[in-house]
Amino acid sequence: MKKVAIIMGSDSDLPVVRKAADTLRSFGVPYQMHVYSAHRTPEQARAFAVNARSAGFGAIIAAAGMAAHLAGALAANTTLPVIGIPLKSAAFQNGIDALLSTVQMPSGIPVAAVAVDGAVNAALLSIQILAVSDPDLAEKLDQKRREDAQKVLEKDAALQ
């Protein structure tokens, strides 16, 4: 099974990013987490992205706030799917700055984006990407969807 990389711009992002790691772990998907900054460690971020495919990764999750260039910087150096998690910051607590930086990529360098602080969906999207060629993982996703639907129906029944 391919691995998923979780890259965060700062260790202060760990409380949000941990939710992605927990989700991947619950599906049995191997992952690695690293702290690389698009601005403070650009050489290391680039080297990771350039070598990610040959290192056995199938997708990269990149979490950053404020300027949020990390996902784009990684995507510029790999053709693996990159999923950006825009993060809230002290300056813009709603995370709109990071969201716009994550989604406004130039043509030819795509980055998939999830909601601000949307680490669980980033992990689920990376799992869906891996499940394209992994039937067992696809079944786990189907099972989760069934369980989620059942929880909603139980809540509806409790209202009646």
Sorted by where each begins, the domain ranges of the chain are 3-134
Q: Give the dihedral of Cα atoms 115, 119, 121, 125; nearest 10 deg.
A: 110
What's the fold here for domain 3-134? Rossmann fold (3.40.50)
Q: What is the pLDDT of residues 33-58, one digit of tens each?
A: 999 999 999 999 999 999 999 999 99
What is residue 92's predicted lDDT score, i.e. its pLDDT? 78
In the chain, what percentage of residues exceed pLDDT 90? Answer: 95
pLDDT tens profile 71-94: 999 999 999 999 999 999 888 789
Q: Residue 59: CB partners within 8 Å, gap ≥ 6?
A: 2, 4, 5, 80, 81, 82, 83, 125, 126, 129, 130
C-alpha distances (whole Å) from 147 to each of 37, 102, 143, 160 are 37, 31, 6, 20
Residue 5 has pLDDT above 90, yes or no: yes
Cβ neighbours for 18, distance < 8 A, ≥ 6 positions apart: 119
Tabulate helix, strand, coil % of the chain (nearest 5).
50, 20, 35
Residue type, 93: Q
